[in-house]
Structure 1
Amino acid sequence: MRRRAVLAAVLLPVAVVACSGEKKAAADPAAALAAAKTTLDGAQAVTLDLKSDKPIPSGHNGVSAAKGTGLIDPTTPKFQGTVSAVVSGAPVTTDVITIGDTTWMKLFTPTFTKVDLKALNAPNPGGFFKPDTGLSQILAKTSDAAGGTEKRFGKEVLTAYTGKVPGAVVKSLLNLGADTSTYAAEFGIAEGNQLRTAKLTGPFYDTGDSSYEIVLTDYGKTVEIAQP
């Protein structure tokens, strides 16, 4: 009887440790973001859903939302979907196709027409899907990475991280913001090192801070994107 009591006393702490240790230790934040960048760059395709938390301020142009599929490529990234924006003071939602540096929109037209995004002072959504200079560069250029706690996102459990992103990086993507500012970043990493959510907060306009949130899904689910 005494031997059983002694054995139980020895095994009980082990059992408690085993049960409490089912949750894996959080990865180093910088390493976790680097792994997510590698996964995104190699995904071939993702579905993007981008939204601003506030309307575009009066007197400004800018993108408020975008949704579609991006094909990841170092030389000719592609995007097909819809973009909502304010252009010359007018709010518009238009179908968009981009192949490399060329863009077609149904901007006030029933059919796709080639447009000059630089003349519209608008970002190329296809640029999000170019490794190293696209969306994944945010992961590589985040400083002060911290976190590793879990959070619920729909049916998924994500590992959350925070950090800071230089304004020049943000502006290169969204054509918004200030080069000299620093933007607060929040990331949600899903199983398989997939970047699921990214949120950037800071002075995108001269009217105070606002946020843009990006959700990435359907890793590897490619579609045909051709010139219209």
Structure 2
Amino acid sequence: MRSRGGRHTLTRTGGARLALAPAAVLALVLAGCSDGADESATSSAPPPPTAADRLAQAHDVLVDAGSVGLTLTGTDLPEDETSYIISAEGAGTMEPPAFDGTITAVIAGVQADIPTVALDGELWVKLPYVPAHVNTDPAELGVPDPATLFDPEDGLVGLLEQTQGPEFGERSRAGAEVVQQVVGTLPGETVTDLLLVGDAESEFDVTYGLVEEDWQVRSVEITGPFYPPATSTYTVTLDAYGEPVTVTQP
């Protein structure tokens, strides 16, 4: 401000500074609000589901289904073993755990397709050259009780909860389905408790195929020392979720 002839006047420079000051303050305030809003929006967005989250989701879907169709196949199986399962196909329920289907196995060195019913802790098989199912003990045949695969806590569904270090694997299309792989490992004891074969002291690799959108477990592939020292693989394929299944004693 200068005095000229007794009058006080504002210089152009001083006036510009005073005029700009409120605008600058307003801009800073607006910028601060904008940044805060962006940070708040970013921080409030939920993180994407992890592989462990998807396994937990698939666990619930499988339990809720109550019944499924099952196909099991084995690869790289040792031919010098006298008793082992090669494949199986059938369907089962979870309440109670039960199975009705056909198991292809080597028993006492002889391969055979064996119609099998497992229910209420008992096993009935129709052995070659025998006209009807007979009640037998799975331990005598050297095979697991197939009904245990459908147990809602300790069966195949239990593997999902016990998978260690799960990570996303490949994503691919299988027909009309998009399948997301989840890979991890299973403790040997977990595998041997379920299938009654394998080295309980070793880890087994596991790969799940989960169908996107509904998160059904479509496949479970387990690789490891089922018959040490050989490394073998059993692959289970699940379908027909929730379709009616009736298992009765033969």
Contact kept in structure 1, 2:78 and 2:230, CA below 8 Å: no
Q: CA deviation at 1:224?
A: 1.7
2:115 pairs with 1:95: yes
In the other structure, the counterpart of 1:193 is 215
Contact kept in structure 2, 1:26 and 1:149, CA below 8 Å: no
Q: CA deviation at 1:165?
A: 0.4
2:152 pairs with 1:131: yes
Q: CA deviation at 1:163?
A: 0.2
Letter in 2 for 1:38: D
In the other structure, the counterpart of 2:66 is 44
2:176 pairs with 1:155: yes
In the other structure, the counterpart of 1:212 is 234
Aligned length: 202
Q: CA deviation at 1:146?
A: 0.2
Structure 1 length-normalised TM: 0.84
Which structure's residues are more often helix, by fraction? 2
Q: CA deviation at 1:125?
A: 0.6
Q: CA deviation at 1:42?
A: 1.5
Q: CA deviation at 1:57?
A: 2.5
In the other structure, the counterpart of 1:70 is 92
- Kindly report which structure 2 residues correspond to 1:139-178, keeping only aligned pairs within 5 A, or say none: 139-147=160-168, 149-178=170-199
* SS class of match (2:58): helix
User: Distance in 2 between the 1:106 and 1:62 partners?
Assistant: 17
In the other structure, the counterpart of 1:180 is 201
Q: CA deviation at 1:175?
A: 1.2
Kindly, what percent of the aligned residue pairs are identical? 31
* SS class of match (1:176): coil
Higher deviation after alignment, 152-161 or 131-140: 152-161
Question: Which string of whole-angstrom CA distances, capped at 9 and with x for unpartnered residues, describes residues 119-142 of structure 1?
Answer: 222101110111111001110000
Structure 2 length-normalised TM: 0.77
2:100 pairs with 1:80: yes
Contact kept in structure 1, 2:63 and 2:157, CA below 8 Å: yes
User: Distance in 1 between the 2:55 and 2:224 partners?
Assistant: 21
User: Distance in 2 between the 1:122 and 1:145 partners?
Assistant: 29
Question: Which string of whole-angstrom CA distances, capped at 9 and with x for unpartnered residues, describes residues 132-156 of structure 1?
Answer: 1100111000000001541122331
User: Distance in 2 between the 1:69 and 1:94 partners?
Assistant: 15
Structure 1: unaligned runs, 5 residues or longer: 1-24
**What is the alpha-carbon root mean square deviation over aligned residues?**
1.5
Residue number among 115, 129, 134 corresponding to 2:136 in the alignment = 115
User: Distance in 1 between the 2:116 and 2:68 partners?
Assistant: 16
User: Distance in 2 between the 1:211 and 1:138 partners?
Assistant: 16
In the other structure, the counterpart of 2:49 is 27
Runs of 4+ residues deviating >6 angstroms:
none
User: Distance in 1 between the 2:109 and 2:229 partners?
Assistant: 16
Question: Which string of whole-angstrom CA distances, capped at 9 and with x for unpartnered residues, describes residues 159-179 of structure 1?
Answer: 111000011111122111011
Letter in 2 for 1:97: V
In the other structure, the counterpart of 1:58 is 80
Letter in 2 for 1:129: F
* SS class of match (1:123): coil
Question: Which string of whole-angstrom CA distances, capped at 9 and with x for unpartnered residues, describes residues 178-225 of structure 1?
Answer: 110100000110131210011000111124211111100000002221
Structure 2: unaligned runs, 5 residues or longer: 1-46
